[in-house]
Amino acid sequence: MASGDAGPSGARRPARRNSRRLDRTKDQAITAAVVDVLARLGFSGFTMDEVALTAGVGKAAIYRRWASKSDLLAGYTEGSIEGTLDVSDTGSLRNDLIVLLNSAAAHFNGPAGRANRALLSAVHDDPTLATAYHSGPAAQWAAAFGKVLDRAVARGEVGPAVDWPLPVEAGAAILVQRWLLLGVPIDEELVTVVVDEVVLPLLRNRNEERLPPPGATSSEG
C-alpha cells in the first residue's frame, strides 16, 4: 500500500478543458507540487504560481488541466487518500482494524497528511472543497471501515445489526485530534491502544445491546 510519504496515488481531476493529449508525467509533477506547497505554505500561501514553480511547469500546463485554483484543490482533495488505506484481510477484526488505522497513520504522518491538514481549514467554508472531501476521503474512509466490519460479520465476530459508525468514529477521532490539533505523530502503539481500549469495547457493547435477552422468543405467544 502507499505510504503517507508517497502522497496520493493519483488525484482525481475535473473534466479536461480541451481534448488535446496531455503529458501524464506533468499530471504527477503537479499533484506532487500541490502536496509540497500545501505542506510548506498552508492553504493561505497556496498559489498557482508556486505550484507551477515547484512542479517545474508553466502555469498554462496547469490551466489546461484545471480551470482554476479551486478546481485544482478540489481535484487533489477528492483523490488525496486514494490508495493509502490498507483493508487487508488478516483473519480477525482486531488485526484488520490495526492494519487499517496504521495505514491511515502513515498518511497522517507524511507530507500528504500535512497537506490535507492545511486543506481542512478551508473545507467548511468552500462548497467545492466540501463536496470533494465528502465524495473522496470521507466516502473512502467509510468504505474501508465498512469492508472491515462486513468481514467481521461474516466471521461471526460481531452481529449483522451492530451499529458500528460511532465506535469507529470515536477511535478515529483520537487519532485525528493528535494529528490535526496537536500535530503529534501517531505511532503503532497508540493505534493498538485505540483499537483495544476504545473501538473494540464499544463495538462489543453495542453488539450486546442488540442481542435478545436470554430466553427471549422472536414473537409473543
User: Amino acid identity of 205?
Assistant: N
Q: Which three cell numbers stand for residue 4?
A: 503517507
DSSP label at 216? -
Q: Structure pTM?
A: 0.80
Grid coordinates standing for 179?
494529528
Helix axes 48-55, 69-78, angle to 10 degrees: 60
DSSP 94-130: HHHHHHHHHHHHHHHHSHHHHHHHHHHHHHTT-HHHH
Q: Can you list the domains of the chain with their CATH numbers?
A: 8-78 (1.10.10.60), 93-209 (1.10.357.10)
Higher model confidence: residue 184 or residue 99?
Answer: 99
81-105 pLDDT, tens digit per residue, is 988 999 999 999 999 999 999 999 9
Percentage, residues of the chain above pLDDT 70: 84
Task: Read off the pLDDT of residues 110-160 as tens digits, 9 standing for 90 and up.
Answer: 889 999 999 988 888 899 999 999 999 999 999 999 999 999 999 999 888
